Structure 1
Amino acid sequence: MVRAALRNVFAHKARLLMTALAVTLGVAFVAGTLVFAGSITGAYAESSKKSFDHLDVRIRPVVGFGELGSGRLLGQETLDRARALPGVSAATGTASGFAALAGRDGALVGEGWQTQGANYPEAGGARYPLTDGRPPRSEREIAIDHRTAERTGYRVGDTVRLSVSGPVIEQRVSGVFTTDDGNVAAGGTLVLFDTATAQRLFAAPGRYNQIDLRAAPGTSPEALRRRAEAVLPNGTEAVTAAGLAAEQADVNAGGVRMLGQVLLACAGIALFVAAFLIVNTFTMLVAQRTRELALLRAVGASRRQVTLAVLAEAATVGLIASAAGLAIGIGAGAGVRGIVYTMDSTLPDGPLVVGAATVVAALAIGVGVTVFAAWLPARHAARIPPVAAMSSVHAPATTRGLVVRNAIGAALAASGFVLVVAATTMVDGKGWLGLGAVLLLTGVFVLTPLLSRPVIAAAGPVLRRFGVPGTLAGQNALRDPRRTAATASALTTGLTLITGLTVIGASAYRTTDALATANLRADYVVSMVGAGPLAADTERKLRGLDAVVASSPRREVQASVEGTNQTVVGLKASDVDELLDLGFIEGTFTAGETAIVDAPTATAKGWRLGDRIEVTWPDGVSAHLTITGLYDSSFDDGVKTDISTMDRHLDRVADTTVFVKTEGGASEATKRILREALGDSPAIRVQDRRDLVDDITGTVGIILNILYGMLAIAVVIAVLGVVNTLAMSVHERAREIGLLRAVGLDRSAVKRMIRLESIVISLFGGLLGVGLGVFFGWAVGELVTVLGISTWTLVLPWGRLALTLAAAALVGVVAALWPARRAAKLDVLEAIHAE
């Protein structure tokens, strides 16, 4: 039986080619993703380890939202106590923060939040070896890293423009140093100042953002960390070098990891689509080999042996295709990695990583999907009775079997539909929505043979306009509804996702525009590139301009609210009504020891207007704030207080954004005035409402285009499925086609018949995909509304939906090219005598 299975594989290699190609593409997608992501992530991990070779433990502010975390600073007394701890061989204070360096063209160098500044330590020669020049010694001097020097062309003695959370300053380059810092390797920049200047810019005179400890021989980093906890001020923490390296590697590789997850999800979709092709292929092979399989049963083969024989064929095809896919995937992963390195030389160097897990996963997925998809056809083959060998025609599916199938499909589709609709009303409905979507899709796929009859029959009047070829095409598409359904379902999967993304993208654009219009009353929002902190005097400088009529900073700090750590936001209560529409339900925003809370949080906590909530600030001081207002959370949720209440508990005041309202509204002239007031810094963004909308929707558009490109592989596999089904159908109907030719149907008519059949099947799959995609797009929008975006508006982009259906028809035309040509070239006499 094994030999027979292997012979069948090679005997039908042409008919199995498309199946093997589909599996190869899916496995290559998986393997290439794993190789690329593993190589880049590994390089980041190694680079991050080098970033912290100079320390064993770091004392720093508690990490929270934003760059400053708790905002706590460390004084000289903490440094002295840390230096005196048992097991400490060295202790160094570091003052660091956001520092944006402008290139020769005036544009920002680096990747926004990765553009860092710090002090050149006393033992800087070991940590930052100089390749040229000397360390900075005055407030007008800086040293820059060698990667930045190479990118910008800056040399010792050059004057550069620099922005540290505010206006531009000009500094002279005194030296160029080398560093293994992972942030620099990730594409950022590192600028070093003398210690006094760095403290003034990033912390406060005589104070540091962090303290690095080196363990003496015989003291482990973990033991030193525990000892350091004894000298920690409130709002700070001690972390080992290993923990810091893991954090940095995780952040730097986060984008690659997320991309890898998306790629793997798309690869899974591609393999799912390939499963339909595999099922179709083996179903048709079994049908075409009815006599052969029945004869095997007649000479003594058991049902189990026949099943295993078909599965062995599938496993052989899967193994060959997976091996080819693995090889292609490794090559693709290496190629993409090389292209990325060429485009971005800032990535850390590292070897190509092809782990055993990648090899095993690729082969297991490819073989597993192929064997699993072939199981139903194999089971069907085993049930062929020996007597079928006498007529070589196996009995069609029974009415009872079709009723059971349709009942199961209806139950799955109905339960999935109900679950999706119910999930749109739940705050925690994401998981239920996903489960409902899977059930609904599965139910529709099971029901597709039933759905295909009325839908394709409705196309009859149009097909009849093409004469006999059109009529025959409709009949052929309805001849085997299961085959038509399996072929169309592959295309349905890809178009469902594409349509859903299209609806969500169009709705997100409209919603973002509405949100900015409804909630933002300010004319401008000022922020740092990469969400870095703005200087404390940014709002003061803007408020002093004649054109500005109202302004407020937005400050964030990690605090304990009623025993729960969370972000507390500070705004200027006197101006906030002119700048933001928070949608107050009760009360208002007032200055003093007060707070406002979004309604969902207040409901969940049981808070009411007039209640007093305890807040413990980063300096350890506790205060009771009176709730004076409850507001809608569609713009920005959480606990908010007046900045005057917050600032007295902060070592360093910094803003995430500044809202500005100007006389006469937004204009290019006013925007230019605001920029000039802030020193025309390349690191500061001054955006009006349209800029904000374009910024967000532009990002959404980029993400959607990437996903469209990734999902294209699923559509390509669906095309292969249509090609394979039509090609095998032509082989199966060779006698019929020969008879049609004999009674007068010419070659062009035969081609037209195959093309129309392909278009009908593709359009059927396209209609299902567009319908399901619109429904899922609506469901996601409803869920977003429940989660707090009350301005979400469903938008149906009719033009793009029509384009999707046109693309489905084009798929049918392209897929039919080879089968139609093959059918037209059949020899009439040989076809008539074909078995």
Structure 2
Amino acid sequence: IVVAGRLQDVQAWAGEPGALTAISVASATGVEPEALAGRIDRVLPASVTAKTGEQAAADATAETADAIGSFLTPVLLAFAGVSVFVGAFIIFNAFSITVAQRRREFAMLRAVGAGSRQVLLSVVVEALALGTLASALGIAAGLGVAVGINQLFQALGADIPVSGLILAPRTVLIAVAVGLGVTLLSSLVPAVRATRVPPVAAMQEGQTLPPTRFSRLSTAAAALVTAAGGASLAWGIVSDGSATGRLLYMGVGALLLFLAVAMLAKFIVRPVSRVIGWPLERIAPVVGRLARENAGRNPSRTAATAAALMIGLAMVVFVAVFAEALKGSFSGAISDSTRADLVAQDRGSFLTVPQSATWADVWGFKWEDGGSDELLAGLTAAAPEKAGDAAAVGSGDAAPSGSGGAGSAAPSRSSDAVSVAPSGSGDDPITGGVLLEAQSAAAKQHDAGDTITVTAPSGRTAELTILGFYRDSMVFTGMITGLGTFAALDIDTAAGLTWVRTEDGASQTATQKTVQQVLADFPTQDVMTKAEYLDMIGKQVDQILTMFYGLLAMSVVISIFGIVNTLVLSVHERTRELGMLRAIGATRSQLRRMVRYESVITTVIGGILGTAVGVLFAYLIVTQMGGDGLVFSVPWLQLGLFMLLAAAIGVLAAVLPARRAANIRILEAI
């Protein structure tokens, strides 16, 4: 909302009469902007700086870039990394199949004098060529997607820069390097396998490639990868390091565990295929059994194909379960700890409600996040006991700088909701005192009656006596003090959030209308019931969830291409087998159904693995964050929908391969 008005009116609305946030100055003809800025700067207070328009624009651009770079860029890169990781499985699977299909070609090369290194080099060069082409296409497609997203945001009215997208040279170099590196690494094992078969043996009909030394050691390697991934993930969860460092450890651990699951999945493909294929056999006995046997014929190939889908679905499941825990825990904390019936919340504008516009019993709440302290808008069940009153809170910055000895004797309190016995009369019963979150206070060895020193950005300090403790860390995780303390520390006491309790027997609807009338001069304030407020919080979480789903959808789409690619190559590999089935009476419809069932079995295996891994990751994270009020909760309906999505992906991915299988000419195939 943009509010225009007379200067004195805007200052009054903002609660800052006589104050200005910025002054724009136009220079006269012939006056250099730098010289004018210097002259103005000399007469300004030390806390105010004069800048040229060019400097101000550059600073604003830099601030925007820093804000985007510090949050959005790492998030987007993380999701891009997931997509690349999924692509690595697809590349590995594709090269494994093509190398197996060309074993006689490689044997012929060996028979006419080519060495094993030459065969290896030919596969590697082929991989590099494909990687280069794919990287170029990926850069072009990525730029096209960026342009499309930019146009979409502009069409939706989003306030984003419209000066054009920038494709920096380093972006191209990094993209090509990643594309070539992933393709090369994914093709190395299949390339080595191409050199393992003696020429004469490989030229025999039906000869298969022998297992490599790596495949024989795959179980031990998977165990080592599992241990390393688990250790990295655990360290990221329990360590006390920086948030960036912990996320890095957790990300590396998750990738290693994904790799370990993919390596071990081949051992469960056959038994799981039998379970998934059982209902398919009931529907179509012969076709269902053939599909089940084909899915379990090459467990490593099926596992690698399913792993690509597993990664994407695991991330989707993790986000869904974590969001469910977040919504449920926050809603439960608000419902259990807040006795208010109505909430008036500011929509983010500077136009907050001044203290003079609120009722009595105005309290301030200080949240603590690690070593950084912020005063945020909010209130808990410590709303005034007197019915019909309202409580509001302010915002500002302050930090505890130390603690003193025992002060006046105060009762030690620890309850699920904030509870304090007023030590005196008046509208602000805890000014000069403070309530601490119980877990944080215990970690810092604070006792009731101790004093702590709080320092504000202005440099002012205040000695506060610890009155008691509370445990509702989902709502508040730091200190609670009175707005009188805010005023003493020269901290703004304007309220952005107001909680209102209705009188016993009073109509909540009528009270809501009354509050709306009281706040009529503050158009950015939304007056809601507590249920509406919780619903708004849930919708905000759902919006973030939708954004994450959109980003993760790319990895799922990539996995679909991988499944299609694997099925097409598999159909080509089994051309004679499919032709024989047609020769002995199988219809085109039966072949299409067989390939479709085979695809569904593969994707459901990926869905089961992805759901299990995603729920496990969410359980570990949520359980570790239990001290912050999160409670583990599983959205069973969503998980069921994800499994149906996996089956639907199988049907969709099988359309082209099934058609190719059905159109095989019998005589040519045999």
Alignment TM-score, normalising by the size of structure 1: 0.67
Q: Please say if 1:662 is aligned against 2:496.
A: no
The counterpart of 2:656, out of the listed 796, 805, 818, is 818
Deviation, 1:687, is: 2.6
Residue aligned with 1:561, SS: strand
Deviation, 1:560, is: 4.7
Q: Please say if 1:503 is aligned against 2:341.
A: no
Match of 2:353 in 1: 534
Residue aligned with 1:830, SS: helix
Q: Is the 8 Å Cα contact of residues 435 and 470 (structure 2) preserved in structure 1?
A: yes
| Residues 301/583 of structure 1: CA separation in 2 closer, same or farther (3 Å cut) | farther
d(CA) in 1 for partners of 2:120, 2:212: 24
Which stretch of structure 1 is more off in the superposition, 597-606 or 694-703? 597-606
The counterpart of 2:604, out of the listed 752, 758, 763, is 763
| Residues 221/355 of structure 1: CA separation in 2 closer, same or farther (3 Å cut) | farther
Deviation, 1:639, is: 2.8
Match of 1:581 in 2: 417
Residue aligned with 2:397, SS: strand
Q: Is the 8 Å Cα contact of residues 321 and 635 (structure 2) preserved in structure 1?
A: yes
Q: Please say if 1:729 is aligned against 2:547.
A: no
Q: Please say if 1:650 is aligned against 2:463.
A: no
d(CA) in 2 for partners of 1:624, 1:221: 46
| Residues 583/357 of structure 1: CA separation in 2 closer, same or farther (3 Å cut) | farther
Match of 1:445 in 2: 262
What one-letter code is carried by the residue in structure 2 that aligns with 1:630?
A: F
| Residues 519/298 of structure 1: CA separation in 2 closer, same or farther (3 Å cut) | same
Q: Is the 8 Å Cα contact of residues 582 and 635 (structure 1) preserved in structure 2?
A: no
Q: Please say if 1:338 is aligned against 2:151.
A: yes
What per-residue deviation string (whole Å, max 9, x for no partner) do you get for residues 598-648 of structure 1? 234434444332222223445544332222223323321223322223324
Match of 2:398 in 1: 559
The counterpart of 2:290, out of the listed 472, 482, 503, is 472
d(CA) in 2 for partners of 1:583, 1:415: 46
Residue aligned with 1:549, SS: coil
Q: Is the 8 Å Cα contact of residues 512 and 697 (structure 1) preserved in structure 2?
A: no
Q: Please say if 1:596 is aligned against 2:413.
A: no
Q: Please say if 1:634 is aligned against 2:451.
A: no
Match of 1:54 in 2: none
d(CA) in 1 for partners of 2:452, 2:527: 36
d(CA) in 1 for partners of 2:215, 2:209: 10
d(CA) in 1 for partners of 2:13, 2:659: 74
Match of 1:182 in 2: none
d(CA) in 2 for partners of 1:617, 1:260: 32
What one-letter code is carried by the residue in structure 2 that aligns with 1:365?
A: V
Q: Please say if 1:514 is aligned against 2:514.
A: no
Paired residues for 1:62-101 under 5 Å: none
What per-residue deviation string (whole Å, max 9, x for no partner) do you get for residues 252-299 of structure 1? 567866555444433332222222221111111111111211222333
d(CA) in 1 for partners of 2:26, 2:441: 46
What one-letter code is carried by the residue in structure 2 that aligns with 1:796?
A: V
d(CA) in 2 for partners of 1:755, 1:713: 23
| Residues 623/500 of structure 1: CA separation in 2 closer, same or farther (3 Å cut) | closer
Paired residues for 1:681-760 under 5 Å: 681-760=522-601
Deviation, 1:392, is: 5.6
d(CA) in 1 for partners of 2:183, 2:652: 25
Q: Is the 8 Å Cα contact of residues 567 and 657 (structure 2) preserved in structure 1?
A: yes
Q: Is the 8 Å Cα contact of residues 409 and 446 (structure 1) preserved in structure 2?
A: yes
Residue aligned with 1:391, SS: coil
Residue aligned with 2:324, SS: helix
What per-residue deviation string (whole Å, max 9, x for no partner) do you get for residues 571-599 of structure 1? xx9xxx9xx932689x9995342222223
What one-letter code is carried by the residue in structure 1 that aligns with 2:495?
A: D
Q: Is the 8 Å Cα contact of residues 434 and 466 (structure 2) preserved in structure 1?
A: yes
Paired residues for 1:183-262 under 5 Å: 191=4, 193-194=6-7, 200-202=12-14, 208=20, 232=46, 245=57, 248-249=60-61, 258-259=71-72, 261-262=74-75
The counterpart of 1:523, out of the listed 341, 345, 356, is 341
Residue aligned with 2:131, SS: helix
| Residues 228/284 of structure 1: CA separation in 2 closer, same or farther (3 Å cut) | farther
Q: Is the 8 Å Cα contact of residues 329 and 474 (structure 2) preserved in structure 1?
A: no
The counterpart of 1:268, out of the listed 74, 77, 81, is 81
Residue aligned with 1:670, SS: helix
Match of 1:286 in 2: 99
| Residues 364/583 of structure 1: CA separation in 2 closer, same or farther (3 Å cut) | farther
What per-residue deviation string (whole Å, max 9, x for no partner) do you get for residues 781-825 of structure 1? 213313x12xx3322222222221122112222222222221222
What one-letter code is carried by the residue in structure 2 that aligns with 1:724?
A: N
Q: Is the 8 Å Cα contact of residues 584 and 631 (structure 1) preserved in structure 2?
A: no
d(CA) in 2 for partners of 1:651, 1:471: 74
Report sequence identity in percent. 34
d(CA) in 1 for partners of 2:288, 2:460: 82
Residue aligned with 1:655, SS: coil
Deviation, 1:703, is: 1.6
What per-residue deviation string (whole Å, max 9, x for no partner) do you get for residues 745-783 of structure 1? 332222222222111111111111111122122223213
Q: Is the 8 Å Cα contact of residues 564 and 657 (structure 2) preserved in structure 1?
A: yes
Alignment TM-score, normalising by the size of structure 2: 0.82
Deviation, 1:201, is: 4.8
Which stretch of structure 1 is more off in the superposition, 523-532 or 798-807? 523-532
Which stretch of structure 1 is more off in the superposition, 305-314 or 667-676? 305-314
What one-letter code is carried by the residue in structure 1 that aligns with 2:599?
A: S
d(CA) in 2 for partners of 1:827, 1:249: 63
Deviation, 1:243, is: 8.2
d(CA) in 2 for partners of 1:818, 1:427: 51
What per-residue deviation string (whole Å, max 9, x for no partner) do you get for residues 40-87 of structure 1? xxxxxxxxxxxxxxxxxxxxxxxxxxxxxxxxxxxxxxxxxxxxxxxx
What per-residue deviation string (whole Å, max 9, x for no partner) do you get for residues 13-36 of structure 1? xxxxxxxxxxxxxxxxxxxxxxxx
Deviation, 1:496, is: 0.9
| Residues 439/237 of structure 1: CA separation in 2 closer, same or farther (3 Å cut) | farther
| Residues 301/584 of structure 1: CA separation in 2 closer, same or farther (3 Å cut) | farther
Unaligned runs of 5+ in 2: 363-385, 404-409
What per-residue deviation string (whole Å, max 9, x for no partner) do you get for residues 195-221 of structure 1? x55555546555555689999989899
Deviation, 1:676, is: 0.3
d(CA) in 2 for partners of 1:266, 1:651: 40
| Residues 684/501 of structure 1: CA separation in 2 closer, same or farther (3 Å cut) | same
Unaligned runs of 5+ in 1: 1-108, 110-114, 116-161, 163-190, 565-572
Q: Is the 8 Å Cα contact of residues 730 and 823 (structure 1) preserved in structure 2?
A: yes
d(CA) in 2 for partners of 1:448, 1:494: 16
d(CA) in 2 for partners of 1:735, 1:622: 85
Match of 1:305 in 2: 118
Paired residues for 1:394-413 under 5 Å: 396-398=209-211, 402-413=215-226
| Residues 561/509 of structure 1: CA separation in 2 closer, same or farther (3 Å cut) | closer
Residue aligned with 2:446, SS: coil
What per-residue deviation string (whole Å, max 9, x for no partner) do you get for residues 712-745 of structure 1? 2222222221221111111111112222222333
Residue aligned with 2:494, SS: coil
Residue aligned with 2:394, SS: strand
d(CA) in 2 for partners of 1:239, 1:384: 76
Paired residues for 1:19-34 under 5 Å: none
Q: Is the 8 Å Cα contact of residues 474 and 757 (structure 1) preserved in structure 2?
A: yes
d(CA) in 1 for partners of 2:309, 2:158: 40
| Residues 359/433 of structure 1: CA separation in 2 closer, same or farther (3 Å cut) | closer
Q: Is the 8 Å Cα contact of residues 553 and 655 (structure 1) preserved in structure 2?
A: yes
Q: Is the 8 Å Cα contact of residues 340 and 501 (structure 2) preserved in structure 1?
A: yes
Q: Please say if 1:827 is aligned against 2:665.
A: yes
| Corresponding residue pairs, total | 622
Which stretch of structure 1 is more off in the superposition, 511-520 or 593-602? 593-602
| Residues 244/827 of structure 1: CA separation in 2 closer, same or farther (3 Å cut) | same
What one-letter code is carried by the residue in structure 2 that aligns with 1:319?
A: T
